[in-house]
Chain A
Amino acid sequence: MIDKRILDSAVAAILMAIGLAMLWGGATMDRLEIRRIHPASIPGLVPMFLGAAIFILAFVIFRVSRRQARADTDDAENRVLSGEVRSFAVVVLLAAIYALVLVGTLHFWLASSLFVFTFIMVAEWPRLGTQTARLKSAAAAAAVAVIVTGAISYMFEQGFLVRLP
């Protein structure tokens, strides 16, 4: 279980760092003097303002979330349950393997079929008690994976003339 307020302050701290980096990046950005542009139109002007604004607002949220975390009130609204974290991690892992590794390495249809089949089986597994149920579910998942991703691949490749990754 993670305390949402601690997560909130961690994200606010990251945003404060991004704000500072943007402020610094804007201030040190090339002012294009060599092109004799108007000094008020330098490319770093708006990033500087945005960096400062992000830093200030993230600092406000950081302070508020720290104060709330110290108040030590434990209610359901402020809890991120381990089940949710586990589901998030599993989906992100499967999605990352598919989108960042398999797509571009294997043919799109094959990569997508593997992903859809694995995703369905991983998500369904806790509900499948018997061997027969698992086999039935695997057959259904394989059918959905092959047919649906085949249809999507065909539609993009033949219908929209997209060269698939």
Chain B
Amino acid sequence: MTATLDALANAFVSMATPTMMFHVVWATLLGIFVGALPGLTATMGVALMTTLTYSLDRDAAVLVLICMYVGAIYGGSRSAILLNIPGTPASAATSLDGFPLAKQGKAGFAMGIATLGSALGTLVGIVLLVLIAPPLAQVALKFGSFEFFWLALFGIVISGQLTKAGHPAKGYLAGFIGLSVAMIGADGIHSHVRFNFGVTDMNGGIGLIPAMVGAFGFAEVLFTMSRPDATLVQPKPEKIDFGALWGRIWAYRRTVVQSGVIGTFIGIIPGVGEDIGAWASYAAAKQHSKERDQFGEGSCEGLTAAETGNSAVVPGSLIPSLTLGVPGSAAAAVLIAALYIHGIRPGPMIMIDQPTFIYSIAVMLTFATIAIGVFGLLLTPVFVQVLRVPRNYLMPIVFTMCVIGPFALTQRVFDIWVMFVFGIIGYVLRRLDYPMAPLVLGIILGDLLDKSLRRGLTLSNGSLEPFFTRPISAGFAVVIVVTVLFSFPAVRRWWAGLTRRGGNASGRA
């Protein structure tokens, strides 16, 4: 424990420089703006910011990206409360109670509750990050090719299952499309070039950043321009009583801790993300609340649960990202790509190669949390003005950034084409209810799955036995099979019938 506190103190001392504080201020503010504006998401913000930070040194670049991520997830609450349009998908649950509060003339109070809920949620997540990540990295050292194969498949399956909006097969299919994209280019074992169709630019594969900027940036521009414009609720000048705000949050302390823990653990599940964290926390709070009849009508507790839950996912999603190299959310997937650009290899070796890095991340998250707390409570009028920026002026500028950002990383016009193609594919798939998180996860995990399966089979001389007999592998295999089976309604009905009959039989006995 003392070693952990020492490591945190050292990370704090090395980070608390005026330059780093300057980065915290501008990056968090920009993140809040990005999150607040409908049409700009946290993933898009982190992806575009990756292209802007590659010339910074490692710690400054990662700090800027973390502040952008935390700020954008929090910023989404502004438009959810004032426009009834979540600025990011993570804030969908926030609008359920935030917008009714704004209509009751309590927009300022609602934004205060959202700010404190977000800050406290991130803090709960940071504590769990520091407690869970180092031992998880130790466990991950026991992983071999067999376990990594199952881990990659587990990420795709669980993400496909939990993020689906339509038919369950669409979630899995999105994941497999992502894995297929990762098959393009030289393979990781023999360097044999696959599926390049004679285009030499594809020999190195499809870059994650251009693909993400397309799927989350250009696709979002297309979405925003094809939707009707929203009407802003004009917040009345309202003097916020900070004592009353704290009192209200203190009264919901159980909800804050519960939502923080739920959000963090949702974040640990590969590729699931902030929106699921918010909905799960909201549902759990509603179940236990004394004011559950007010949920959806302007409940401060519902708003607290949603905001605490989505913000706690941010540190949670960094736990598997740092220790296993498997992203906990779409934005964390971009963050992994950014870490590679800056010479950090996330994965089980992180506590050996960079033993202090996890603590540096915890300190960066803490700085970002303090910044959202301060800006969120003091700059409410400024954020209201930001929401007035007309989308017809904003969207072409966003697309210009989508073009220059991927180009800046590699200086290849080919990456602009990749962005464009992925934007259209992303728009069509999302319009047809295919989730994007498994697709992104597939692109990032494809190489790991491919290499682990073929290495494992080579080690076992072509036998599949170790994939099912090694304890961790067997555990993953069982979870995957159960998850896939239970996504079929017929299996769920059969299981429900079986448990009902079992219950009746024991009741009679």
Contacts and interface: CB of A to CB of B under 8 A. Distances in A.
Interface residues of B, number: 58
Interface string A19-43: 0001001000110100101111111
B392 A120 contact: yes
A57 interface: yes
B399 interface: yes
Chain A interface size, under 10 / 10 to 19 / 20 to 34 / 35 or more: 35 or more
A64 B167 contact: yes
Contact of A149 (B400, B429, B458): B400
Nearest to A65: B167
A99 B429 CA distance: 22
A92 B218 CA distance: 9
B392 A103 contact: no
A133 interface: no
Contacts of A100: 416-417, 420
B462 interface: yes
A46 to B, nearest CB: 4
B432 interface: yes
B474 interface: no
21 contacts: A7-B432, A11-B428, A15-B173, A22-B180, A32-B192, A38-B462, A54-B177, A60-B169, A61-B167, A91-B225, A95-B218, A95-B399, A95-B423, A98-B403, A103-B416, A112-B403, A112-B404, A120-B392, A156-B404, A160-B408, A162-B408
Given A40-B458, A54-B173, A123-B392, 5 more contacts: A11-B432, A39-B462, A46-B183, A64-B167, A116-B396
B146 to A, nearest CB: 13
Interface stretch (B331-339, B359-367, B447-455): B447-455
Contact of A47 (B180, B407, B411, B423): B180
A32 B454 CA distance: 14
Contacts of A39: 462
Nearest to A84: B226
B395 A40 contact: no
Given A45-B454, A165-B407, A87 B225 contact: yes
Nearest to B411: A163
B279 interface: no
Interface string A135-165: 0000001001100110010001001111111
Contacts of A37: 190
A152 B52 CA distance: 11
Interface string A43-83: 11111001101100110110010000000000000001001
A161 B55 contact: yes
Interface in A117-139: 119-120, 123-124
A35 B455 CA distance: 16
Given A41-B189, A41-B457, A99 B176 contact: no
Contacts of B458: 38, 40-41
Task: Please indicate which of the listed interface residues A43, A84, A119, A164 has the most CB atoms of chain B within 10 Å of its own CB.
Answer: A43
Nearest to A164: B404
A61 B170 contact: yes
A32 B190 contact: yes
B225 A35 contact: no
B416 A99 contact: yes
Interface of A: 4, 7-8, 11, 15, 18, 22, 25, 29-30, 32, 35, 37-47, 50-51, 53-54, 57-58, 60-61, 64, 80, 83-84, 87-88, 91-92, 95-96, 98-100, 103-104, 108, 112, 115-116, 119-120, 123-124, 141, 144-145, 148-149, 152, 156, 159-165
B55 A160 contact: yes
Contacts of A149: 397, 400
Nearest to A162: B408
A164 B179 CA distance: 32
A22 B195 CA distance: 9
B400 A46 contact: no
A165 B462 CA distance: 49
Nearest 6 CB-CB pairs, A to B? A40-B457, A119-B396, A123-B392, A87-B226, A41-B454, A43-B192
A58 B431 CA distance: 16
Contacts of A38: 457-458, 461-462
Given A80-B431, A92-B424, A160-B52, A50 B222 contact: no
B150 to A, nearest CB: 14
Contacts of B428: 11
Interface in B378-429: 392-393, 395-397, 399-401, 403-404, 407-408, 411, 413, 416-417, 419-420, 423-424, 427-429
Contacts of A80: 431
A75 B218 CA distance: 29
B226 A50 contact: no
B489 to A, nearest CB: 12
Given A11-B432, A41-B458, A88-B222, A46 B453 contact: yes
Contact of B169 (A7, A61, A148): A61
A76 to B, nearest CB: 14
Contact of A103 (B173, B183, B413, B455): B413
B386 to A, nearest CB: 15
Contacts of B427: 88
A25 B450 CA distance: 16
B194 interface: yes
A105 B457 CA distance: 50
B59 interface: no
Nearest to B391: A123
